[in-house]
Structure 1
Amino acid sequence: MKTTIYMVRHAESPYDEGNERTRGLTAKGKADVEKVTKLLMGEGIDIIISSPYSRAVRSVEGLAQHLNLEIETFEDLRERHFSSDEIVDLMSNIRNNFYNPEYALPGGESNADCQNRSIAVLKTVLKEHKGKKIAIGTHGLVMTLMMNYFDSNYGLDFLDQLKKPDIYKMQFEDLELKEVIRMWNE
């Protein structure tokens, strides 16, 4: 029995609005959410879950409203916490973590920690909702780490080419990833 996961990377978000948890979407991001909704509304999605961060929730909110579904948020799908201090070169830190997944800055979380917590949620969802179609509002790095758990081809190069938003349809049989299709076209 196939279970389908739609990974929905959040739409464009302003870096200067609110904090990591509360920042919303730009005007372009809001327009793109309408496209996400139109693209996914005919897929027969049964369940919508999300990171608790506003930009991820807002990226699947239109779909939830159209399908008359609630969005269930999971704290362990949140974005990776990089450090308790301000990071001067975030992208350099992200790249380095792909070569050393256990490394974490002071007060921060490693790629391995982020992957472990997010995969625990995904495995539970796959077991509890076998045969269903589930949309997940997520973040680029978290999505990459979850996909990487099942297939090492989803690494730094994959992360670098992701768009905001982006959508990947993943077909599973039990906990085995069988197929991945990119659905988002700009």
Structure 2
Amino acid sequence: MNAIYLVRHCQAEGQEPDASLTAAGIEQAQQLASFLANKQIEGIISSPYERAYRTISPLADAIGLPIKMDERLTERILSGQNHPDWREMLRRTYEDMDLCYEGGESSRTATSRAVQVVNEALNSGWKNAVIVSHGNLISLLLKHLDRAVGFQEWEALSNPDVYELSFTDEASSFKRIWKP
């Protein structure tokens, strides 16, 4: 495999699984399709959340590929409760990968499921692939590749965002290729 394009979904109406893209998000999805159209994509895997698969649908339609839905790409649940200090709670989970709030998922557990999807894409035989997910899970996957990634990098993500992941026998690397 040459590259995996890790895509954060476009602007959405909310955080619920069925939250749709905003009007701006729909336009962003079209721009994203144009941006990725010449990348020789052979496989597309997406979170089943509507905002994720609607983000990549224009590309899938344009290049004639199905979108494989994968539950392991859903957003990480920080806690089963709403907390006014959720941002500080989230920040702590980048420092302690095993920290798990009641009803939530630790960073380590969430990272593990995302890494499984990446490994399967790497072993798929595809030349290039697109993986579409959500901000926290994407930032945790980037942290897996570079421990220096943390809360600040999560905060800097845009909707949409695109990172190109490269893998060789010796190392892996990533670079942000979307210019918001």
**TM-score bucket of the superposed structures, by smaller chain:** over 0.9
Match of 2:70 in 1: 74
Distance 1:176 1:21 in 2: 34
Moved more, 84-93 or 28-37: 84-93
Match of 1:171 in 2: 166
CA positional deviation for 1:137: 0.9
Identity across matched positions, percent: 30
Partner AA of 2:127 in structure 1: K
Match of 1:104 in 2: 100
Deviation string, structure 1 residues 142-175 (Cα, Å, up to 9, x no partner)? 1111121121132222111111101111111258
Match of 2:80 in 1: 84
CA positional deviation for 1:180: 2.2
Moved more, 73-82 or 119-128: 119-128
Distance 2:151 2:101 in 1: 19
1:149 matched to 2:144? The reply is yes
Distance 1:147 1:100 in 2: 16
Find runs of 4+ consecutive structure 1 residues off by over 4 angstroms: none
What RMSD in Å do the two structures reach over aligned CA positions?
1.6
Q: How many residues align?
A: 180
Q: 2:120 aligns with which of 124, 131, 135?
A: 124
1:181 matched to 2:175? The reply is yes
DSSP 3-state at the match of 1:48: strand
DSSP 3-state at the match of 2:58: helix
User: Quick check: 1:48–1:72 contact (8 Å CA) kept in 2?
Assistant: yes
DSSP 3-state at the match of 1:70: coil
Distance 2:124 2:31 in 1: 29
Q: 2:50 aligns with which of 23, 46, 54?
A: 54
Distance 2:62 2:39 in 1: 12
Match of 1:12 in 2: 11
Match of 2:157 in 1: 162
Stretches of structure 2 that go unaligned for 5 or more consecutive residues are: none
DSSP 3-state at the match of 1:5: strand
Match of 2:23 in 1: 27
TM norm structure 1: 0.90
Partner AA of 1:181 in structure 2: K
Stretches of structure 1 that go unaligned for 5 or more consecutive residues are: none
CA positional deviation for 1:117: 1.3
